[in-house]
Amino acid sequence: GAGVSQSPRYKVTKRGQDVALRCDPISGHVSLYWYRQALGQGPEFLTYFNYEAQQDKSGLPNDRFSAERPEGSISTLTIQRTEQRDSAMYRCASSFGIGTFNTEAFFGQGTRLTVV
Amino acid sequence: SQQGEEDPQALSIQEGENATMNCSYKTSINNLQWYRQNSGRGLVHLILIRSNEREKHSGRLRVTLDTSKKSSSLLITASRAADTASYFCATGPYNQGGKLIFGQGTELSVKP
């Protein structure tokens, strides 16, 4: 596709359920990033991949959060046993180069997660 | 934790005026980037300035970077109503190549 695609756009889930958020990066982009954004705040880094390798997961809040990118393209962010504090906009981004040294990141429209 | 801090938090100007937003950060960086977010939309990249650059222009945008003061500014000249959005600075920390650390943002309102 022309841009970074995320699905679903909106997800409402009950507390305690697991959710999987999908990101389809721009074709050919090497790096993929996950961010979380609360209302009125800037995006907060969660994790990033170069190809299929997870390079940095220091931003994942706890072990209920995990991410994978098994074939170096599509990525899934999984949240297990969701809690209300997990409610936020989850944004995915990709970049052509390795990391963000000197290359811009292209962001998707995000998945709005609401845990009730 | 967020290291970028934008100033002011909110700015309201008339169409045609210039808008200046500032960003401060704490650690050494590879680069600094500015993004725009319209209400309900995604983040759009505006401009990237490397740590060895001091000034960069793109259309009506002018970005400066002062690494000694760990600060940057974004100037939008001849503003338009369509420039109304939130503006975020994001730093790429030195030796942490994949991470962008975003500030809290400046909410710009341009009145026709």
pLDDT digits (tens, 9 = 90+) for A6-65: 999 999 999 999 999 999 999 999 999 999 999 888 999 999 999 999 999 999 999 999
What was the pLDDT predicted at A101?
67
Q: Which residues in chain B have their CB less than 8 angstroms from residue A109's CB?
A: 41-42
Closest CA to A24 of A113, A111, A101: A111
| Rounded mean pLDDT for each run of 10 residues along chain B, 112 residues in total | 70 96 91 89 90 96 96 97 95 80 93 94
Q: Which of B35, B48, B100 sits opposite A102 (nearest CB)?
A: B48
CB contact under 8 A, B102 and A43: yes
What b/e readout covers B36-67, taking b as 16+ CB neighbours within 10 angstroms? bbeeeebbebbbbbeeeeeebeeeebbbbbee
Residue B28 distance to chain A (closest CA, Å): 13
What was the pLDDT predicted at B2?
40
What was the pLDDT predicted at B84?
96
Residue A16 distance to chain B (closest CA, Å): 27
Backbone angles phi, psi at B82, to 5 degrees: -70, -10
Residue A42 distance to chain B (closest CA, Å): 5
What was the pLDDT predicted at B1?
34
CB contact under 8 A, B101 and A104: no
pLDDT digits (tens, 9 = 90+) for A68-109: 999 999 999 999 999 999 999 999 999 987 766 667 889 999
What was the pLDDT predicted at A102?
67
Closest CA to A54 of A78, A31, A86, A21: A31
Q: Is A60 within 8 Å of chain B by CB?
A: no
Task: State how beta strands A44-50 and A31-37 pair.
Answer: antiparallel
C-alpha to C-alpha distance for B35 and B75, rounded to whole angstroms: 13
What are the structure tokens assigned to B56, written together?
């960069």
DSSP-derived letter for residue A14 is: -
Q: Which residues in chain B have their CB less than 8 angstroms from residue A33's CB?
A: 98, 100
Q: Is B41 within 8 Å of chain A by CB?
A: yes
pLDDT digits (tens, 9 = 90+) for B3-29: 567 888 999 999 999 999 999 999 888
